[in-house]
Structure 1
Amino acid sequence: MERYDQLYRLYEEFDAERLRSHQAFVDLFPPLDSRVALTYWEDASDELDDLREEIRDAFPGTGETYADVAAHATRDQAFTGLDLATKYDRPVNALVLDVDETLRSAGQTDNEIPRETLHLLTEFHEAGVPIVVCTGQTLENVKGFLSQGLGNAVVNSGEVSVVYESGTGVFTPGHGPETKRLLYDELDESVRAAFDRLRQRVLSDAPDGVARGCHLQGNEFNVTLKPNFETGNDDAVAVIDDALVYLLDLLGVVVADRIDDVRPAEPSEHDEEDVLGAAAGEWTRAFYAARDPEIEAVLDERDELPGGGEPADADVPDPVADFLDRVDVAYYEGDAAEVVSRELDKPGGVEAAFEVLGVEDPFALVVGDSKSDLRVMEWVAERDAGVAAAPEHASTVVLEHVRERDDLVFPPGDAGDVLRTVYALNRLVAVE
Structure 2
Amino acid sequence: MERYDRLYTLYDEFDAESLRAYQDLVDLFPPVDSRVALEYWESASDELAQRKGDVRGAFEHGDTYAELAARASREQAFAALDLQAKYDRGVNVLVLDVDETLRSAGHTDNEIPRETLHLLTEFHEQGIPIVICTGQTLENVKGFLIQGLGNALVHSGDVSIVYEAGTGVFTPGHGPDTKQLLYDGLDEDVRSVFDEVRARVLSDAPEGIRQGCHLQGNEFNVTLKPNFETGSERARELIDDALRYELELLADCVEGASADHVRAFYAERDPEIAGVVEDVPEDVDVPEEVRAVLDRVDVAYYEADAAEIASRELNKVVGVQAALDVLDVGDPFALVMGDSKSDLRVMQWVEEENAGIAAAPEHASPRVLEHAWDTDNLVFDEGAADEILRTAWALNRLAEQ
What secondary structure sits across from 2:317 in the alignment?
helix
Q: Distance in 2 between matches of 1:380 and 1:299?
A: 33
- Between Structure 1 and Structure 2, how many residues are aligned? 401
Q: Percent identity?
A: 69
Aligned to 1:41: 41
Aligned to 2:57: 57
Q: Distance in 2 between matches of 1:35 and 1:51?
A: 24
CA shift at 1:296, angstroms? 1.7
Does residue 390 of structure 2 align to residue 420 of structure 1? yes
Q: 2:325 aligns with which of 332, 350, 355?
A: 355
Question: C-alpha deviations, 1:60-94, integer Å up to 9, x for none?
Answer: 4x111111110000011011111111111111000
Instruction: List aligned pairs for 1:17-416, cutoff 5 A.
Output: 17-60=17-60, 62-256=61-255, 275=256, 280-300=258-278, 305-307=279-281, 310=282, 312-314=283-285, 316-416=286-386
Aligned to 1:271: none
What secondary structure sits across from 2:364 in the alignment?
coil
**Amino acid paired to 1:296:** A
Q: Distance in 2 between matches of 1:409 and 1:373?
A: 14
CA shift at 1:112, angstroms? 1.1
**Amino acid paired to 2:29:** F
Q: Distance in 1 between matches of 2:308 and 2:382?
A: 25
Deviation beyond 6 Å, 4+ runs, structure 1? none
What secondary structure sits across from 1:215 in the alignment?
strand
Contact 2:135 2:165 in 1 (8 A): yes
CA shift at 1:282, angstroms? 2.5
Contact 1:97 1:103 in 2 (8 A): yes
CA shift at 1:249, angstroms? 0.7
Q: Distance in 2 between matches of 1:318 and 1:85?
A: 48
Question: C-alpha deviations, 1:369-399, integer Å up to 9, x for none?
Answer: 1111111011001111111111111111112
CA shift at 1:50, angstroms? 0.8
What secondary structure sits across from 1:339 in the alignment?
strand
What secondary structure sits across from 2:161 in the alignment?
strand
CA shift at 1:30, angstroms? 4.3
Contact 1:134 1:164 in 2 (8 A): yes
Contact 2:230 2:305 in 1 (8 A): yes
CA shift at 1:31, angstroms? 4.5
**Amino acid paired to 2:113:** P
Q: Distance in 2 between matches of 1:299 and 1:365?
A: 36
Q: Distance in 2 between matches of 1:388 and 1:49?
A: 34
Question: C-alpha deviations, 1:395-417, integer Å up to 9, x for none?
Answer: 11112111111101111110100
Larger radius of gyration: 1
Question: C-alpha deviations, 1:289-319, integer Å up to 9, x for none?
Answer: 222222221123xxxx242xx3x431x2222
CA shift at 1:108, angstroms? 1.1
Contact 1:214 1:227 in 2 (8 A): yes
- Structure 1 stretches lacking a partner, 5+ long: 257-274
Q: Distance in 2 between matches of 1:25 and 1:45?
A: 9
Q: Distance in 2 between matches of 1:82 and 1:194?
A: 50
Moved more, 208-217 or 233-242: 233-242
Moved more, 31-40 or 380-389: 31-40
CA 1:221–1:12 in 2, change beyond 3 Å: closer, same or farther?
Answer: same
- Structure 2 stretches lacking a partner, 5+ long: none
Question: C-alpha deviations, 1:3-53, integer Å up to 9, x for none?
Answer: 111111111111111110000001001442012211111110111111111
CA shift at 1:160, angstroms? 0.4
CA shift at 1:150, angstroms? 0.6
Contact 1:290 1:313 in 2 (8 A): no
What secondary structure sits across from 1:106 in the alignment?
coil
